[in-house]
A and B are shown apart, each in its own frame.
Chain A
C-alpha cells in the first residue's frame, strides 16, 4: 500500500484479488443455479414415475374388475344353461307326456304351456350365450352382437337393428372383443331399462385401421352432465380406456342417446 498524502492507493494484488473474488462468486452462484436445475429434473422425474405407477395400478384394478365380472357372468351363463335350462327341458318333456294322456279340452292349454316353456328354454339358452365370454369368443364379436339384437327383437317393445359397413375385419385381439361387446351390452341394457326407446340401431364401420361403432336409441335420453355417473357409465368409460378406444356418449333429453366408439384395430392387434 502506498500512501500519498492522506489518500490511499490500491496495489495490483488487491485489485487482482477483487477480480478473482468476483469471478469466484459468479461461479458459485452459477453452481447454485445448476444445482437447482438438476434437483428440479430429478424431482420432476420422481413425480412422473409416481403418476405413472398410479395409472398402472388403476389400469390393473379395472382389468381385474372386468375379469371378475367376466367370470361371474360366465358362471351365471353356465348355471342358466346347465341348471335352469335342464329343468325346463325336463318340464317340457313331462308336459309332452301329460299332453298325450289328457283329454282334448285341457290339451290345448297344456300345449300352450309347453310352447311357453319352449320359448323360455330358447330365451335361457340365448341369455347364457351372451353372458358367457367363451361363447362370445367362439361365435365372434359380430355374431354375438347379432344374437343380442335378436334377443332384443323378441321383446317386441323395441326394434333393434345391426348395420355393418366396410370390410369386416377379423379381430386380432379377443380380449378387446369381449370388452367392446360388454360396453355395447351395457348401452343396450341401459336403453332397455331406462330409455323407453322404440328403436335401437348399432352400426359397425370397419376402416383400414379403425373400427367405428355407433349405438343409437330414440329414447328419453338424459343430461350427461347432471346425471350422477352410475357404475354403468363409469365402467363403460374405463373399459374403453382399457382398449385405447375413444369414447363419447352424447345424450339430449327427449332426443335419444348416442354412443360413439373408435377402436384402433391395427394398434391393438396382437401379433
Chain B
C-alpha cells in the first residue's frame, strides 16, 4: 500500500479513528450472535465449544477496549488519568492473558477433542503444557515491560501451538474418510481461518517496534491489516456457522 501522499494518509487516519472500533466490534460480535442463534443446531457436536469461545472472545473484546471507552466517554475520562503510570495504562496485559493465552489454550483443547489419533493428542497436550509454563515464566520475568516487543516470544509460541494443532488435525482428516464431507464441516473452516490468521499475525509482532505516533504510515498499514484479518476471520466463522451441516459426534 503506497501510502505516501500526506493528504491520503490524513483521510485514512480520520477513517480509522472514526470507524475502526465500530467495525472491529461489529465483526467480533457477528459470529457470537450467529453462534448463539444457531446453538441448537450444534448442540450435540463439538462445535458448541467453539460457539462458547466466540461469546468469550466478544466479551474479551468489550472489556479489552476499556481504555478507548474511557477516552470516548467524557464522564469517564478521569479513570484513564488514574491508570496512567500503572500496568493497566496499556491494555496489552489483558489481551495477553485472555487472547494469547486463553485463545491458544482453547484452540489446542478444541483440536485435541477433535483428534482421534492418540499420538497427536499427546503431542498437543504436551505442547499446551509447555506453552503454559513458558507463558507463566515469560509473564513473570517481563512483568514490568508488557510492551508489544516483549511479547514476541509468547506470540511465536502461541502461533506454533495453534499451527501444530491445526496441522495435526488436517493431517488426520487427509488420512481418514472425513475428507469426503470436509467442506460441510465447520472444523475445517475454523482450522483454515485460524491457520491463516496466525501466520499473518506473527510477523506483525516483529514490526511492532514501528507502532508509534511518529510512524503514521506503518500504524495505518497495521490497522488495515489487522482489520482485514479480523474481518476475514470472523466473517468466515459466521459463514461457517450458518452454512455447515453439523454431524452428531
Residues of A within 8 A of B (CB): 4, 7-10, 12, 14-15, 18-19, 21-22, 25-26, 29, 32-33, 36-37, 39-40, 43-44, 47
Task: Give the residues in chain A near B170, CB-CB below 8 Å.
Answer: 32, 36
Contact A8 B210 (CB under 8 A): yes
Shortest B190–chain A CB gap in Å is 13
CB proximity of A125 to chain B, nearest CB, Å:
59
- Top 8 closest pairs, chain A to chain B, by CB: A10-B210, A10-B218, A9-B215, A29-B196, A7-B214, A25-B199, A7-B212, A40-B179
Flag B221-249 by CB within 8 Å of A: 1 or 0 each: 10001000000000000000000000000
| Residue numbers in B under 8 Å from A32 (CB-CB) | 170, 192
Q: Say whether A14 contacts B207, CB under 8 Å.
A: yes
The residues of B with any CB-CB pair to A shorter than 8 Å are: 1-2, 4, 170, 174, 177, 179-180, 182-183, 188, 192, 195-196, 199-200, 203-204, 207, 209-210, 212-215, 217-218, 221, 225
Assuming the contacts A18-B203, A18-B207, asked whether A47 and B217 have C-beta atoms less than 8 A apart, the reply is no
Question: Nearest-CB distance from B74 to chain A (Å)?
Answer: 29
Is B179's CB under 8 angstroms from A10's CB? no
- Expressed in whole angstroms, the Cα–Cα distance for A9 and B211 within the complex equals 8
Q: Tell me the complex Cα distance, A37–B174, Å.
A: 11
Q: A10-B207, A29-B195 are in contact. Are A15 and B217 (CB under 8 A)?
A: yes
- Select the residue from A10, A32, A33, A37 with max chain B CB neighbours within 10 A: A10
> In the bound complex, do residue B1 and residue A15 qualify as a contact, i.e. CB atoms below 8 Å apart?
yes
Bound form: Cα–Cα A14–B211 in Å = 13
The contact sample of 10 A-B pairs, CB cut-off 8 A, is A7-B212, A8-B209, A10-B218, A14-B210, A22-B200, A25-B199, A29-B195, A36-B174, A37-B183, A44-B180
Task: Tell me if A36 and B210 are in contact (CB < 8 A).
Answer: no
Q: Is the CB of B180 within 8 A of A10?
A: no
B179 lies within 8 A of A8 (CB): no
CA distance A9 to B217 in the complex (A): 9
A29 pairs with B207, CB closer than 8 A: no
The answer on a CB contact under 8 Å between B183 and A40 is: yes
Assess whether B192 is in contact with A33, with CB atoms less than 8 Å apart. Answer: yes
A33 to B200, CA, bound (A): 17
With both chains docked as a complex, state the minimum distance between the C-beta of B46 and any C-beta of chain A, in angstroms.
Answer: 20
Chain B residues near A10 (CB-CB < 8 A): 207, 210, 215, 217-218
A44 contacts which chain B residues (CB < 8 A)? 180
Q: B221 near A18 (CB under 8 angstroms)?
A: yes
- With contacts A10-B207, A40-B179 taken as known, whether A4 is within 8 angstroms of B192 at the C-beta atoms is no
Among B180, B200, B217, B225, point to the contact of A40 (Cβ < 8 A): B180
From B183, B188, B215, name the one whose CB has the most chain A CB atoms within 10 angstroms.
Answer: B215
Q: Which A residue's beta carbon lies closest to that of B228?
A: A22
A25 partner residues in chain B, CB cutoff 8 A: 196, 199-200
- Report yes or no: A40 in contact with B215, Cβ–Cβ below 8 A: no
Residue of B nearest to A15 (CB): B221
Do A29 and B192 touch (CB < 8 A)?
yes
- Looking at the assembled complex, report how far the CB atom of B6 sits from the nearest CB atom of chain A, in whole angstroms: 15
What would 6 more interface pairs be, CB under 8 Å, given A8-B215, A21-B203, A25-B199?
A7-B213, A9-B218, A10-B210, A15-B1, A36-B174, A40-B183
Give the Cβ gap from A39 to chain B, nearest Cβ, in Å.
6
Q: Which of B177, B179, B212 contacts A36 (CB 8 A)?
A: B179
Residues of chain A lying within 8 A (CB to CB) of residue B199? 25, 29
A40 to B185, CA, bound (A): 13
Which residues of A are found within 8 Å of B188, using beta-carbon distances?
36
Shortest C-beta distance, A220 to chain B (Å), equals 43
Known pairs A15-B1, A15-B221; A36 contacts B182 (CB<8 A): yes
Query: Which of A4, A14, A39 makes the CB contact (< 8 A) with B174?
Result: A39
Q: For the complex, what is the distance from the CA of A39 to the CA of B196, rounded to whole Å?
A: 20
B215 touches A39 (CB 8 A): no
A47 to B176, CA, bound (A): 12
Task: Report the bound CA distance from A7 to B192 in whole Å.
Answer: 36
Q: Judging by beta carbons under 8 Å apart, are A9 and B214 in contact? A: yes
Residues of A within 8 A of B4 (CB): 12
Specify which chain A residues have a CB less than 8 angstroms from the CB of B1 in the assembled complex: 15, 19
B23 to chain A, nearest CB (A): 19
A231–B221 Cα distance when bound, in Å, is 75
Please indicate the chain B residues that have their CB under 8 angstroms from the CB of A7 in the complex.
212-215
Among A12, A18, A47, the one with the most B-chain Cβ atoms within 10 Å of its Cβ is A18
Contact of A43 with B179 in the complex, beta carbons under 8 Å: yes
B182 to chain A, nearest CB (A): 6
Q: Are A39 and B180 interface neighbours, CB within 8 A?
A: no
**In angstroms, how far is the closest chain B Cβ from the Cβ of A52?**
16
B199: nearest chain-A partner, CB-CB: A25
CB distance from A56 to the nearest CB of B (A): 22
